[in-house]
Amino acid sequence: MPTRHPSAPPSPDGHLLHPIVRKLSTYAHLDAGERAALAGLSAGGQRVEGRSDLLVEGAAPDCAVLVVEGIACRYRHRPNGARQITAYLLPGDLCDPDVVHLSRMTHSVGTIGPCRIVRIPREALADLTERHPGIARALRHAKLAEEETTREWVMNVGCRSAIERVSHLLCELHERLRIVGWATKAGYDLPLTQQDVADTTGLSNVHVNRVLRQLRLMRLVEVGGKRVDILDLPGLRAVAEFQPDYLRPTSAESIPG
């Protein structure tokens, strides 16, 4: 049983109920006008079903994509059919406004579960960042965090064991969802299948299942029914060697411009 209905606002604190406002506020100070502008973006939007593509490899996209609700991912298929997920897009994440300017996407972006998204035309985005330097600064910072996250993933699949990889993924999603108000200390809703976790961590779905069982037996975390219940956060982070630094850079203001 989910703790909160997906369409209910995460919290009753005005603009902060919009995940992108919450997220960008952690990176740079936003004035009232900037918060309002972002909130305006998040309003409305388009409902998209789970397991559907938002941007496909090879296409020439003309819009950025803001995830307002739900979880999406960047992924690619190998010729042999194997899939690798290279990033998750959580509420408040803006699917790379720059990459989107490339004439050919080298990977696809698709939803995991049902999502609410906003497509933002290139010009509207440029206009927004020109008018609101705080937003521009925060977006640059968010992008840095995203790059660090990708490097962390290289670290994860490159030199950690199965249980460490899965734990690390669960910790990262927990931390990122907490920032935007979609997770509590106790856990979070997660629409991923075990196959998705496998395609993220470079493991087989069978082995992911075994690792999740082990984590449950270790009384660290229980994953099941589209829900993650965290029993022992310090313990889980210890197993994962999780250092949240890369998600929350310490000095947003040091980036000029």
Partner DNA sequence: CGTCCCGTTGAAGCGTGTCAAGGTCTGTGG
Partner DNA sequence: CCACAGACCTTGACACGCTTCAACGGGACG
**Can you state the angle between helices 162-179 and 233-240, rounded to 10 degrees?**
130
CB proximity list for 161: less than 8 A, separation 6 or greater = none
| Residue whose entry in the numeric block shows the structure tokens 């997920």 | 85
**Could you tell me the smallest distance in angstroms from the CB atom of residue 157 to DNA?**
10
Residue 204 interacts with which of DNA, a copy of itself, none, CB < 5 to 8 Å by class: DNA
CB proximity list for 225: less than 8 A, separation 6 or greater = none
Would you count residue 56 as binding a copy of itself (CB under 8 A)?
A: no
Token reading at 214: 């082990």
- Interface residue with a copy of itself among 78, 185, 217, 234 (CB under 8 A) is 78
- Taking residues 81 to 110 in sequence order and writing x for each that binds a copy of itself by CB under 8 A, - otherwise, the string is -xxx-xx--------x-xx-xxxx-xx---
Would you count residue 234 as binding a copy of itself (CB under 8 A)?
A: no
Would you count residue 59 as binding a copy of itself (CB under 8 A)?
A: no
**Could you tell me the smallest distance in angstroms from the CB atom of residue 14 to DNA?**
34
27 touches 90 (CB < 8 A):
no
49 touches 74 (CB < 8 A):
no
35 touches 15 (CB < 8 A):
yes
**Could you tell me the smallest distance in angstroms from the CB atom of residue 166 to a copy of itself?**
13
What phi, psi does 248 have (nearest 5°)? -130, 75
**Could you tell me the smallest distance in angstroms from the CB atom of residue 90 to a copy of itself?**
17
Token reading at 57: 């490899």
* Nearest to 83, CA basis, from 203, 199, 239, 231: 199
Tell me the Ramachandran region of residue 185: left when phi exceeds 0, alpha when psi lies from -120 to 50, beta otherwise.
alpha
**Could you tell me the smallest distance in angstroms from the CB atom of residue 156 to DNA?**
12
In the complex, the residues that contact DNA under the rule CB under 7 A are 161-163, 193-195, 202-207, 209-210, 212-213, 224
Would you count residue 155 as binding a copy of itself (CB under 8 A)?
A: yes
Cα–chain center distance at 248: 14
**Could you tell me the smallest distance in angstroms from the CB atom of residue 160 to a copy of itself?**
8
Choose the binding region for a copy of itself from 16-24, 40-48, 145-153, 212-220 (rule: CB under 8 A): 145-153
Binding site for a copy of itself (CB under 8 A): 74, 76, 78-79, 82-84, 86-87, 96, 98-99, 101-104, 106-107, 122, 126, 140, 143-144, 147-148, 150-151, 153-155, 157-160, 199-202, 241, 243, 245-246, 249-251, 254-257
